[in-house]
Amino acid sequence: MPWDVLIFYLIAAVCVLSAAGVVVARNPVHSAIFLVLCFVNIAATFVMMGAEFLAVVQVIVYTGAILVLVLFVLMLVNPDDLPEFHAARPVQRYVGLLLGAILLLEVGAAIVTRSVSGEQGTATPDNIAAVGGNTQALGRVLYSDYLLAFEVVSLVLLVGVVGAIVLALPERLGERPSVARRGSISLSHPRGVDAALPEGRPAGETLIPTRHSTSPTRASGAVATGNDREVSAGPTPTGVVRDLVMTRDADAFGHMGDKR
């Protein structure tokens, strides 16, 4: 038996066993670790098929981004919310095993008995080596034949980011996680503005008028601070602050200057 077949069987065995570990592990963290092992082995099979770029993408995106995200969510979800493993559904388990066995038989029969081998493409190993390697060849394909799909994927990622942020926000915008922000530097807070103060000025000195300044309206952008000692940017003379702020970062403090 040639070496590459032996190596493939080794990789496939680890892959299938770790995938089974994902399903049967009691602890969700163990499932995630098994999934990392499985994904790395799938990347190894990609290397065996000459898809080096995709193997690296697999490792970076799946094990580096998605699985880390899964672990983050596992830590954020209350452990009391997780269902018990022992309360698994026996009927569903047997039905799942039966369906899996049937589907494996069907797919195996389809793989074994297939006769159409298709038309050979032009991406032979010699041609791929002529353009510099797998990454260069794949880049040529992605930026010529699949250019529109490539741009649409960027749109999909953008919408995904927006959707994730909207879904993960608290239900009411008022209840910000103020506990997590209590120790952070708040640039619009009178005592926390030492980053925005000019050099040499003590941080305790109040530059920004606090709540005793009579102002019925709160600043429109003051939701960013989340604590009750916010700046009330009313009709008080805040010219000093405005000038000082605008020399720093005009975009982040645009809400302070719009109530003149």
Element (H, E) at 66: none
Can you tell me whether residue 176 is helix, strand or coil? coil
Q: Does 233 bind another protein (CB under 8 A)?
A: no
Burial class (CB in 10 A: 0-12, 13-18, 19+), 12: middle
Provide, rounded to whole angstroms, the least separation between the CB of residue 222 and another protein.
25
Q: Does 160 bind another protein (CB under 8 A)?
A: yes
Q: Does 14 bind another protein (CB under 8 A)?
A: no
Q: Does 109 bind another protein (CB under 8 A)?
A: no
Q: Does 59 bind another protein (CB under 8 A)?
A: no
Can you tell me whether residue 259 is helix, strand or coil? coil
Q: Does 250 bind another protein (CB under 8 A)?
A: no
Residue closest to 259 by CA, chosen among 240, 245, 239, 229: 239
Q: Which of residues 128-147 bind another protein (CB under 8 A)?
A: 128, 134, 137-138, 141-142, 145-146
Provide, rounded to whole angstroms, the least separation between the CB of residue 106 and another protein.
9
Q: Which of residues 87-106 bind another protein (CB under 8 A)?
A: 87-89, 92-93, 95-97, 99-100, 103-104
- Asked if residue 230 lies in contact with residue 218, where contact means CB atoms within 8 angstroms, the answer is yes
Q: Does 40 bind another protein (CB under 8 A)?
A: no
Number of neighbouring beta carbons within 10 Å of residue 82 = 11
Distance, in Å, from the CA atom of 212 to the CA atom of 190, rounded to the nearest integer, reads 13
Q: Does 38 bind another protein (CB under 8 A)?
A: yes
Q: Which of residues 168-207 bind another protein (CB under 8 A)?
A: 168, 170-171
- Asked if residue 88 lies in contact with residue 163, where contact means CB atoms within 8 angstroms, the answer is no
